[in-house]
Amino acid sequence: MSASRPLVTLAAGALVLALSACGLSDDGAAADTPGEQVLRIALADPEASLSVQDYTTSSFTVLDQVFEPLVRYTADGSFAPALAESFEVSPDGLTMTFALREGVTFTDGTPFDAEVARTDLLRWVEDPDNSFLGLTGVTESIEATDEATITWRLSQPYHSALNELALTRPVRFTSPEAAGEPVGTGPYRVESLDEQQIVLVRNDDWWGGTPSLDRVEFAVIPDAAARVAALQAGEVDVIGGEYTAPLALEEAAALEQADGIEVLTTESTTNLLLTVNADTGNPALADPAVRRVMDLAVDRPGIAEGLFEGRATAATTVFPANVPYGPDPEAATAADPAAAEELLEQAGWTGDGVRSKDGVPLELDLVLDPGLLPQATSLSQAVADQLGDVGFEVTITPLDSTAYGTTVSARDFDLRFYNTYGAPYDPYSTLTANFRSVQEGHLFASPELDAQIPAALAAPDEESRQAAFDATWTTLEEQTAAVPLVQLPRQWAIRDTVEGFELGATEYDLPLSDVTVSG
């Protein structure tokens, strides 16, 4: 009998320890006061801090509640006033004048005026880390002409200036007194932030009126399946969004059948591409015929239907047609393996099995980070099969995020997937950052694109601008700068107790000042 006592003691001790430890975990769920309007949104990744002054915070939709820009991008590609009540670009395109909204204060009470705005603008405009933003290169001067006017002079016309001013990081305004704390002018301010949740509360002094919600709680749920379950169980009200809590396509289909849940789907402005490393990858990729063949061999409609459950649409151009000055849409056609093989024969790539030319085999390494795109693994297998059918051999290398970033930055790969940035960056920023040889991390570059892209951005009027962009689209297609795959939809899901919820103009924005929650 006595010998079993240690066992019992051990078990009893463990039980006491477990039960006592339970008590400490209750503070995670703050009790909601009855009658309070609280919206709970899932967030995939915790944030250590919230800042628009650098690139460390990637929860854009959280930042959007707290920090505001001069102008906001709208769904039709035009701009709406935000902290600038009105704005004007001179006919020569060299002077931008912003009339600032008066009486705006940061949530710490600091007034937002022209001098504060000017200092905060210069913070990022003068920082070489932000060179991917064209404004850093063409800004001549930023002046506070009076208390409520900013006059911005440029050395040359720069068409996407307003797009850049509508971005989240690094351009939105932080209080000069913030000292590292997240203090902006937006409809909500930060109450608390930890690894489990970010709690925002209403900014009663917001210039845009009284926001409808008392609190917005972003609950960190890293696992995609757990997010769907949390929505179904009513633990959160909203999931989805590329930069918030991504909702997988196949899960959206199941959620549409679920009671009390509404799935919101809209067209995105981003295309998923298969990009080729023509500079330092397999020398075969420098042959335009090989790239053209890849374009012919990939079965886009099949991928859109089979892998993305018909929720994605086949992409035929590098940029989707719905970006400003976008390319004309083309009808997607199924793969043409016969034409692809014929083209390879003509270009001298011959042999049974894996084709080769001058001792260079068509062996390609496709690197991917499954964390970036849930369908990456199945998509890579489909692409490898389709290219395999016409004489390529594609090796798939899955990597974690750090290894992927390292490999991509070292340009030590042949193929990878890439999502274009989407509005409000596109087409300007994706073109500038990814298709010019001066950018170290470019996807593809050629002398033609090096000349055409700056020309398009500096074009003085609508007509010449459209013509310059059209020339760029033609080059991207003729040179097969990338193999377009599909245009993925923007997907969110909400509980039917949420009213007035509308998707932002971009995946980086989420307007919540008019949302209410019933029941």
Partner 1 sequence: MRGSWVAAAGRAAGRRAGEGVAVLLVVSLLTFGLLSVAAGDAATAIVLARDGVVSAEAVARVRAELGLDLPAPVRYLHALEGLFRGELGASARTGQDVAGEVAARLGPTVTLATTGAVVAVVGGLTAGAVAALTRRRVVRLPIQLGSLALLSVPAFALAQLGVLLFALQWRLLPTQGIAGWPSLVLPAAVIGLPLAAVLAQVTEARLRSTLREPFATTARARGLSPARVLLATALPNAAAPLLVVIGDVVGTALAATLVAETAFGWPGLGDYLVRALQFRDWYPLQAAVLIIAVGTVSVRGLAGSLAALVDARAGVRT
Single out the segment in contact with partner 1 by CB under 8 A; choices: 20-28, 69-77, 273-281, 509-517: 20-28
Find the binder of partner 1 among 407, 419, 466, 475 (CB under 8 A). Answer: 407
Site track for partner 1 across 324-363, x = CB under 8 A: ----------------------------------------
Find the binder of partner 1 among 78, 145, 192, 409 (CB under 8 A). Answer: 409
Residue 25 interacts with partner 1 (CB under 8 A): yes or no: yes
Judge whether 311 and 265 are in contact, CB under 8 Å: yes
Q: Which is nearer to partner 1, 344 or 399 (CB)?
A: 399
Q: Which is nearer to partner 1, 346 or 402 (CB)?
A: 402
DSSP letter for 133, please. Answer: S
Residue 438 interacts with partner 1 (CB under 8 A): yes or no: no
Q: Which is nearer to partner 1, 230 or 483 (CB)?
A: 230
Q: How many CB atoms lie within 10 A of CB 378?
A: 14
Residue 4 interacts with partner 1 (CB under 8 A): yes or no: yes
- The three-class DSSP label of residue 114 is helix
Measured CA to CA in angstroms, residue 380 lies from 154, 246, 346, 351, 462 at distances of 45, 20, 27, 24, 40
Residue 441 interacts with partner 1 (CB under 8 A): yes or no: yes
The beta strand positions in 302-450, using DSSP E, are 313-314, 356-357, 360-361, 363-368, 393-398, 415-419
Residue 399 interacts with partner 1 (CB under 8 A): yes or no: yes
Parallel/antiparallel/unpaired status of strands 38-43 and 215-220:
parallel
Estimate to the nearest angstrom the gap between the alpha carbon of 319 and the chain centroid: 15
Residue 156 interacts with partner 1 (CB under 8 A): yes or no: no
DSSP H helical ranges for 307-413: 337-346, 376-389, 401-409
Residue in 356, 476, 365 with CA at minimum distance from that of residue 411? 365
Whole-number Å distance between alpha carbons of 298 and 382: 9
- The three-class DSSP label of residue 210 is coil
Cα torsion through 321, 322, 325, 331, rounded to 10: 10
Measured CA to CA in angstroms, residue 374 lies from 246, 272, 309, 417 at distances of 9, 13, 13, 12
Measured CA to CA in angstroms, residue 158 lies from 82, 94, 121, 335 at distances of 21, 8, 17, 40
Find the binder of partner 1 among 46, 208, 337, 361 (CB under 8 A). Answer: 46
Write out the binding residues for partner 1, residues 191-250 only, by CB under 8 A.
Answer: 195-196, 219-223, 225-226, 229-230, 232-233, 235
Write out the binding residues for partner 1, residues 172-201 only, by CB under 8 A.
Answer: 195-196
Residue 500 interacts with partner 1 (CB under 8 A): yes or no: no
Query: Which residue is listed with tokens 């022209």?
Result: 114
Query: By CB under 8 A, how many residues form the interface with partner 1?
Result: 52
Find the binder of partner 1 among 33, 257, 346, 402 (CB under 8 A). Answer: 402
Residue 260 interacts with partner 1 (CB under 8 A): yes or no: no
Six token digits for residue 376: 């990456």
DSSP letter for 320, please. Answer: -
Whole-number Å distance between alpha carbons of 4 and 362: 69
Write out the binding residues for partner 1, residues 102-141 only, by CB under 8 A.
Answer: 129
Residue 7 interacts with partner 1 (CB under 8 A): yes or no: yes
Residue 254 interacts with partner 1 (CB under 8 A): yes or no: no
Q: Which is nearer to partner 1, 166 or 245 (CB)?
A: 245
Q: Which is nearer to partner 1, 24 or 331 (CB)?
A: 24
Binding stretches for partner 1 (CB under 8 A): 1-4, 6-7, 10-11, 14-15, 17-18, 21-22, 24-26, 28-29, 46, 48, 54-56, 58, 129, 195-196, 219-223, 225-226, 229-230, 232-233, 235, 399-403, 405-409, 440-441
